[in-house]
Amino acid sequence: MAKIGIIGAGSVGATIAYAALIRGVARHISLFDIARTKVDAEVLDLNHGLLFTQPVTVDGSDDVEVLRGSDVVVMTAGAKQKPGQTRMDLAEANVQICARILPGVVRVAPDAMLLMVTNPVDVVTEVALKLTGLPWERVIGSGTVLDSSRFRFLVAKHCGVAVQNVHAYIAGEHGDSEIPLWASATIGSIPLSQWSVEGHGRLTAADKDAIVHNVKDAAYQVIQGKGATNYAVGLAVCNILQAILFDEQRVLPVSGLLRGFRGMEDVCMSLPRIVSRKGIEAPLPIPMTVDEEGGLRESAERIKAVVRGLGY
């Protein structure tokens, strides 16, 4: 059975471990953090709940050896946004942390898939790819899986339908330049542009603007109120872990290397892709408007500029 290694036992890392534990995604979960007291306490707390879950072993350490043999290593260590800070503001500090940790991770878990969550996640994913030399299929960023979940939740709420019946993606940077792909959005197979069902609302241009504003502002709102986002990201990352470890071939808007998608390349950002035990495939040929494609190009350039500015 599979082993998940999690780097960082902070709000995000511990919540991913909790979600993975209660969903029975792996047989072993190992946490690694430089803060020994913190990682020990999180491991103890998780172990105290094992009576109520599937059989899982949970351990942790401040020694990277604990990640040995992991099938997937999830990277959550690093600085988080303070109120008002953008994700890109974290780039320099978090890229340095990756440079310090990742060589040791590849040494103890050479066959693992890397799932980057630390922000700015697209920048960090590209740096991880370059630092480790792993194949592009095996270096994944959680990308806009969380943003797309926020997007679908807001559309579903507006139209009074279940969130599972809304199919819609946020693509591009997991951050301020992300792009809603309205043209391909559907509810129960009906294109969103044609959605007009009595008692279930319509989406005017103003409604759409408000939803996009809300999606982009979501992390800022949560951080303002409680200092960190953790539950939704924990579930989103657990969903990606499940797609990988259960070989689900699930379509997810994860971040990964673009190798010529509509002329965009040498940059990591999110587009819907099939995710399985082999990792990610090339982005799906999702239909989009000229404006959506233009927005994605700008998003790609913005990520590229930050990565190149850091010397990668």
Encoding tokens for residue 211? 């939803």
User: Does 270 engage in binding with ligand NAD (CB under 6 A)?
Assistant: no
Give the Cα separation of 147 and 11 in Å (integer): 18
Min dist. Cβ of residue 81 to ligand NAD (A)? 5
Total Cβ atoms within 10 A of residue 203? 19
Among 3, 174, 302, 304, binds ligand NAD (CB under 6 A): 174
The residue from 142, 177, 184, 270 that contacts ligand NAD (CB under 6 A) is 142
Tokens found for residue 136 = 């592009």
Interface mask toward ligand NAD for 40-69; x: CB under 6 A: ------------------------------
Q: Is residue 105 a contact partner of residue 35, using CB atoms and an 8 Å limit?
A: no
- Which among 76, 140, 130, 123 has a CA at the least distance from the CA of 103? 130
Q: Does 154 bind ligand NAD (CB under 6 A)?
A: no
Cβ proximity of 6 and 74 under 8 Å: yes
14-34 burial: b if 16+ Cβ within 10 Å, else e: bbbbbbbbeeebbebbbbbbe
In whole angstroms, give the CA distance from residue 184 to residue 69: 40
Q: Return the range that interacts with ligand NAD (CB under 6 A); candidates 90-98, 165-173, 193-201, 269-277.
A: 90-98
**Which CB sits closer to ligand NAD, 158 or 174?**
174
Q: Which is nearer to ligand NAD, 116 or 274 (CB)?
A: 116
CB of 147 to ligand NAD, least distance (A): 8
Cβ-in-10-Å burial (0-12, 13-18, 19+) of 128 comes to buried
Closer residue to ligand NAD, CB minimum distance, 5 or 279: 5
Question: Is the link from the previous residue into 120 a cis peptide, with omega within 30 of 0?
Answer: yes
With CB under 6 A as the contact rule, the residue among 97, 113, 241, 264 that binds ligand NAD is 97
At which residue do the structure tokens 């094992």 appear?
50
Residue (203 or 239) nearer to ligand NAD, CB: 239
Minimum Å gap between C-beta 282 and ligand NAD is: 22
Which of 30, 70, 118, 177 contacts ligand NAD by CB under 6 A?
118
Helix (H) or strand (E) holding 43: helix 36-47
Q: Which residues are known to be catalytic? A: 174
* 81 binds ligand NAD, rule: CB under 6 A: yes
Does residue 78 touch ligand NAD according to CB under 6 A?
yes
Told to check if 117 binds ligand NAD by CB under 6 A, we report yes
Binding-site ranges for ligand NAD (CB under 6 A): 7-13, 33-35, 38, 76-81, 90, 94, 97, 100-101, 117-119, 121, 142, 146, 174, 228-229, 233
